[in-house]
Structure 1
Amino acid sequence: MTTPEARLLRRVTTASVTVAVVLIALKLAATLSTNAISLMASLIDSTMDLFASLVTLIAVRIALQPPDEDHRFGHGKAEPLAALAQATFIAGSGAFLFLEAIQRLIRPQPIDAADLGIMVMLVSMLTTAGLVLFQRYVIRKTRSPAIKADAAHYTADFLINAATIAALWIAHQGIEWIDPIFGAIVGGFVLFSAWQVGRAALDQLMDREVLDGSESRIHDLATAHPSVHAADHIRTRMAGRTMIIQLYIYLDNHLDLANAHVIGDEVAANIQKGFPGADVLIHEEPYHPETAPHI
């Protein structure tokens, strides 16, 4: 059965690809008409966004597949893999754009039909703004790293589109060197965005600890149970949109195995209230005051 989250993820990835195709068509026509490096910068960025959005679309559909015999922990890591691929696409477009801007500085070229370029960029801004608002809504509902990476691209696009309008207007006033300067700045910004997206993806793929205060919150939720004397060995990581939590809890020595597991299940349920959707694994240990950790 398809869940509301799955439906949202499918819709937003389809919307992302559709917007990318529309923007590429608009910007290609404007670039051919104006010969502006700033518009070429935006076109290249949108082209890379299309590739990234296609990767995201495929990855999200893979990640939504349930666990099977070969993937007992599910397919969640398809999403950070998609984000890493996006970072590669973005880095390539940024490097190409930076080099093209340097060539235009050495061999300046005039800009034609600036009014057309500005109109196209205004339409691009409105379209991009609508997509980003939808993506942010989906991120709040699903915490998808792939959609978060995609939204980062389009948020940057919105700012780039606004700056492109300014660059076109200034260049049209006769200050043509501003166009390649702007292209070089955007190229640097795109490379920086690629580094941010790639770093976040690698953190997930390398099972980096979730460093946002989660350990302290998990400890407090576990020790809030009246039968838990202490908790330690708390470990966390992300597998796509799912947070994996592991910990030890210390219980009275006289408890039998069945009761210990009942308490463990109650503690896991309490932790899941604080971390909805988390996969919680608890190891029950006998409590020895002289060796067990203190609350």
Structure 2
Amino acid sequence: MTGYSQEHSRLTRSAAYASIAVALLLVVIKVWATALTGSAAMLGSLADTTLDLIASIATLAGVWIAAMPADEDHRFGHGKAEALAAMLQVVLIALSAAGILFRAVGQYLAGARTEAAEEGIAVSLVAMVATFALLAWQRHVIRKTGSIAISTDHLHYKSDLVLNLAVIAALALDHFALIKGADALFGIGIALWLAWGAWRASTEAIDQIMDREWPEWRRQEFLNVIARHPALRGVHDLRTRTSGAHDFAQFHASVDPHMTVAEAHRVMDEIEEELERAFPGVEVLIHPDPEGLINEDGTAAEELLPDLGERKDG
């Protein structure tokens, strides 16, 4: 494992361990608060935190497996384990939302009221402080690694801040302001918020599983680095994808048809070195072509650097 991969693995595991520790703390105090208050909103928050704990354990497994080096059966590495862990989290969030919605609607129809609101509010405040600390560390790890599993976990805990604020508001309105149904209505709102979050979180994980191309701005930056080499005559059929923290790119590079194999190999090595400096950790596969020879059809045959000559002249 390279130093880059080791650092990525260390950071993602530390974020996963931190989220598990925070989730364990929150589950314990919210079980106590739910038993005291009978609040639908607090129950919703407890259910979400319990699933957060399960999801954080799945995240740890995902980032651990994703950090494993490529082997004979997984030649492109294990990076998609992060996307699979993220999808598991999405499923758990959706199930949590459905359960909370069912319970909150039942309590609203039954006209149930809350008790021991002071204790419930205190627990929510403690939960928010712990969550703020976790979010700060997760943001640091995401900036350093770009981990999709940690990003999805981060989304959970960002939503937890809203959930805890909603619990405080629900308890205050129901218990102190005596607004009938306030707690249940907040529970319904929490369920809908979670469902929307699950939908949003699924998008990036599905993109990785389906090998979606890099965003256009990143592809263009990649092409700009390639275009710097003076021996390059053209580029076509660029294909990119991301698997966990691992990026892959392959393309056809056109060179002078009179080059020897050894010279063309040297040019490809130099381009790869430039790309590694600009995109650390990217795995590049280059197919050299003699200038003017394009065997591909459709978009794969399109020249991606049509103004290459102008760039070199300038």
**Is TM > 0.5 for Structure 1 vs Structure 2?**
yes
Asked whether the 8 Å contact 1:250–1:292 carries over to 2, the reply is no
Partner of residue 246, structure 1: 250
The structure 1 segments of at least 4 consecutive aligned residues displaced by more than 6 Å after TM superposition are: 289-292
2:22 maps to 19
SS of equivalent residue, structure 2 residue 74: coil
* Partner residue in 2 for 1:180: 184
Give the match's secondary structure for 2:190. Answer: helix
Gaps of 5+ in 2: 295-300, 309-314
Equivalenced residues, count:
295
Select 2:79's aligned residue among 76, 79, 87.
Answer: 76
Deviation string 1:70-110 (CA, Å, 9 cap, x unpaired) is: 11211111110000111111100001111111111111111
Match of 1:102 in 2: 105
Given the two structures, how large is their TM-score scaled by the length of structure 1?
0.96
Q: Aligned residue for 2:63?
A: 60
Preserved contact between residue 48 and residue 93 of structure 1 (Cα < 8 Å): yes
- Measured after TM superposition, the shift of residue 176 of structure 1 is 3.1
Give, in angstroms, the shift of residue 292 of structure 1. Answer: 8.1
Which residue of structure 1 lines up, in the alignment, with residue 126 of structure 2?
123
Q: Tell me how far apart the structure 1 counterparts of residues 121 and 138 of structure 2 sit (CA, whole Å).
A: 25
1:279 paired residue number: 283
| TM-score normalised over the length of structure 2 | 0.90
Out of 18, 37, 42, which is 1:39 matched to?
42
Q: Which amino acid aligns with 1:220?
A: N
Q: Equivalent residues in 2 for 1:177-256 (5 A)?
A: 177-256=181-260
Distance in 2, Cα, partners of 1:168 & 1:193: 24
The DSSP-based 3-state class of the residue aligned with 1:282 is strand
How far did residue 229 of structure 1 move?
1.6
- For the 8 Å contact 2:71–2:77, the answer to whether it is kept is yes
**162-171 or 75-84: bigger deviation:** 162-171
Are the equivalent residues in 1 in contact too, given 2:170–2:182 (CA < 8 A)? yes
In the alignment, the residues of structure 2 paired with residue 50 and residue 232 of structure 1 have an alpha-carbon distance, to the nearest angstrom, of: 46
In structure 1, the residue corresponding to 2:201 is in which secondary structure?
Answer: helix
| One-letter amino acid matched to 1:176 | K
SS at match of 2:75: coil
Offset of residue 289 of structure 1: 9.2
RMSD: 1.7
**What CA deviation, in whole Å up to 9, does each residue of 1:183-203 have, x standing for no partner?**
111101111111122222111
Cα contact 2:26–2:49 (8 A) shared by 1 = yes
Structure 1 unaligned residues grouped into runs of 5+? none
Bigger mean CA offset, 67-76 vs 77-86: 67-76
Q: Following the alignment from structure 2 to structure 1, what is the Cα–Cα distance between the partners of residues 91 and 213? A: 24
Question: How far is 1:214 from its partner?
Answer: 1.7
Note if 1:10 corresponds to 2:21: no
**What is the percentage of aligned positions where both structures have the same residue?**
39
After superposition, the C-alpha distances for 1:17-58 in whole angstroms (9 at most, x for unaligned) are 111111011111001100111101110110110110010111
- What is the CA distance between 1:272 and its match in structure 2? 2.4
